[in-house]
Amino acid sequence: MTKDEFNTVFAIATSTQDLSGYDDSPLYEFGLREFQPVTVELQAAAKCLRWQCICFDGSVDVFGLNECARFFQRRVDVIVTVSATADRV
């Protein structure tokens, strides 16, 4: 995942977009050494990021965000779908 893709994922994660329809299970345990690289939609990565880093009060856990960025950069590729760009507008 590139830095620009991560920024897009972060923007989606901090938005009010409903991500319940996206499957983020391929990202479960992404921090483990045995985790194999995966390819997911932007929204699935955003759903995982929301779960890992966004606090109930809307603030961001910066430690968690940096951890996700580090792992996502090496282990996650994203697919940009037409709905992903439409949903951000």
Q: What is the pLDDT of residue 82?
A: 61
How long is the chain? 89
Q: What is the dihedral of CA 22, 24, 26, 28, to 10 degrees?
A: -170
- Give the range of the structural domain holding residue 27, as residue numbers without chain letter: 3-88
Cβ atoms of 43 and 12 within 8 Å: the answer is: yes
Comparing 27 with 83, the larger pLDDT belongs to 27
pTM of the model: 0.80
- Residues in Cβ contact with 52 at an 8 Å cutoff, skipping those fewer than 6 apart: 61, 64, 67, 68
pLDDT at 89: 44
**Residues 34-82 pLDDT 10s:** 888 889 999 999 999 998 888 777 788 889 899 889 898 888 888 877 6
State the total domains in the chain. 1
